[in-house]
Amino acid sequence: MEILQLPLVCALIISSLTSATVVQDFNHVERCKDSLYMGTPPRGFVDTKLKKICQRYADKPRYVTLYDPSKRIPVYSAYTFKKTEGDRRVDYPWMYEPQLAELDGNGNMLPFPTGYLHMKFEDSQAVLDDYSDVVLYERGHLNPDQHQSSPHDRAATYTLTNVVPEIREFNIGPWREYEERIRVRLNNFCRGTAYIVTGVTTRGNMIRRNNQNRVAIPEDVWSAYCCTEYDRNAPHDVRVLFPSHGALAKNAKEGNSIHEMTVLELEMFLRNNIEVDTNLQIFYDNCVSPSPLPLYLQHTI
């Protein structure tokens, strides 16, 4: 009897590897690595309990997230920027990631079901109830909808595996202004594909529900972009912000201004504030821009 069932077991294993959105490696799902510069995820994240999510919506990979099931928040989301007018859509349903809780399904994120939500979902990820009674915090996107253009790409940002609790004043103030500033900068001066990684640091503060620690509250929010094909004729004060640049801010009601910095400076901060090793590198080869000029002229760029 067991021998007869073996092909079925093998088929189920193969199916879970090819369609599951929680993967051993982002390269295991076709087109998933397209969200990453040179197809390479940030290097140096050493916690083996973190889950790699290929965020699939409508049967297509949209972006990737490194997720911490114990804190029930993303460590980072990585995505490609799509040129957009920046208008916001808020009528998409909030979704969850079935693959964090089970192996069945077709690998797509799904809208939260109405009514009772089984505990297996709550064990592995945040649910809507975690955010329903907290006045101070809002659901802050790491991959924001205004950095996407198609309805499906925008809808895919509305999963709780892509959001963190952000202080309301920070979310609607400095951070939203920064997201808009980057949208305009990349719209106007990036000529190729722009890759963005946005993440958080934590210090142990948690949203509690039913006397249990539920969702980690970020201490800092950080972001970095990489665009190697940019307008070489841009003004000098813009050109120095390419091919890559980073930003860091406190998730706080006050003292929450955005500090833009080089990606190397951001990495130095992260090495001291999150669980990474000394090899931390957000972008492959530090997003070195291939120069169109011969070596003896490159210093003039």
Confidence of residue 224 (pLDDT cuts 50, 70, 90): very high
Cα first-last separation, the chain = 70
178 touches 221 (CB < 8 A): no
**CA distances for 50 relative to 99, 193, 275, angstroms:** 14, 27, 11
- HSE at residue 53, side-chain half, CA atoms within 13 A, is 37
Question: What pLDDT sits at residue 60?
Answer: 93
Question: What pLDDT sits at residue 198?
Answer: 98
Residue 150 class from Cβ within 10 Å (0-12 exposed, 13-18 middle, 19+ buried)?
A: exposed
Q: Say whether pLDDT at 12 is over 50.
A: no
Contact residues for 87 (Cβ-Cβ < 8 A; gap 6+): 146
More confident position, 249 or 99: 249
Count of residues making up the chain: 301
Confidence of residue 114 (pLDDT cuts 50, 70, 90): confident
Q: Say whether pLDDT at 15 is over 80.
A: no
57-95 pLDDT per residue, tens: 999 999 999 999 999 999 999 999 999 887 766 678 899
58-68 pLDDT per residue, tens: 999 999 999 99
Q: Could you say which DSSP state residue 288 is in? A: P
Go through the domains of the chain in sequence order and give each one's CATH number: 29-109+137-288 (3.40.570.10)
170-198 pLDDT per residue, tens: 999 999 999 999 999 999 999 999 999 99
Residue 67 class from Cβ within 10 Å (0-12 exposed, 13-18 middle, 19+ buried)?
A: buried
Question: What pLDDT sits at residue 7?
Answer: 42
Give the pLDDT mean for 26-38.
84
Question: What pLDDT sits at residue 13?
Answer: 36
User: Residue type for 257, please?
Assistant: S
Confidence of residue 289 (pLDDT cuts 50, 70, 90): low
33 touches 60 (CB < 8 A): no
Confidence of residue 6 (pLDDT cuts 50, 70, 90): very low
Question: What pLDDT sits at residue 87?
Answer: 73
Give the pLDDT mean for 253-267.
97
Average pLDDT over the chain reads: 87
pTM of the complete model: 0.88
